[in-house]
Structure 1
């Protein structure tokens, strides 16, 4: 299992609409995310539009490929593109993962070895 985190910036003037678009996300998009192999997926929105996302997957490359080929994901990403600062193309394909520097479970497990 791989943990993936990413950071994006939502245009400050579009924060309320961004939140509304996620309350709820299209059911068919939720199904595609799950079918891609992403799970335990959360998005957090901080001050100034700083967005942090997190999910777990067994194969992130396969999940990206699945979503890249999905017509539903293409429609969702096209509808969401105007919300982000400094992003070109589909956010689900262009967001750069943030490196993990600490995980409690991993460190506790290492103590048991």
Structure 2
């Protein structure tokens, strides 16, 4: 059975247009890696300076798949562009190895 995830992060002021433009044209290699890492139905929403991601994980080892994704060179290149556009809700940045995208608690689901 798939696991559903919701995550939230801040979008830095002035980053909206760049973030939206890049996500209108996500690199095919990044999409292939997302798929290879068992992520499905992936969406990112924006509201009032916040980004909310929603996806299903269909694999057996989430941590291993996330390590696989993080080791992909093209995905890492993508992140070097995206990370400066984002800010964690608690002030950490990606370089500090603090929490980045914060997982959200699922409060309701109706299939």
| 1:101, distance to aligned residue in structure 2 (A) | 1.2
Of the three residues 51, 62, 65, the one matched with 1:63 is 65
Cα distance in 1 between the residues matched to 2:34 and 2:66: 10
Which residue in 2 is equivalent to 1:103? 109
Kindly name which structure, 1 or 2, has the bigger radius of gyration based on alpha carbons: 1
Cα distance in 2 between the residues matched to 1:53 and 1:19: 14
| 1:89, distance to aligned residue in structure 2 (A) | 2.1
| 1:96, distance to aligned residue in structure 2 (A) | 2.2
Root-mean-square deviation (Å):
1.9
> TM-score w.r.t. structure 1 length?
0.82
SS at match of 1:13: coil
Which residue in 2 is equivalent to 1:94? 100
Cα distance in 1 between the residues matched to 2:102 and 2:64: 16
Which residue in 2 is equivalent to 1:110? none
> TM-score w.r.t. structure 2 length?
0.83
SS at match of 1:104: coil
Which residue in 2 is equivalent to 1:53? 53
The count of residues paired between Structure 1 and Structure 2 equals: 103
Native 8 Å contact 1:11 1:84 kept in 2 = yes
Segments of structure 2 that go 5 or more residues without pairing to the other structure are none
| 1:69, distance to aligned residue in structure 2 (A) | 1.5
Cα distance in 2 between the residues matched to 1:37 and 1:80: 21
Segments of structure 1 that go 5 or more residues without pairing to the other structure are 106-113
Which residue in 1 is equivalent to 2:78? 76
* Cα deviation digits, residues 31-80 of structure 1 (max 9, x gap): 11111110100000112x21100110124323312112111111111111
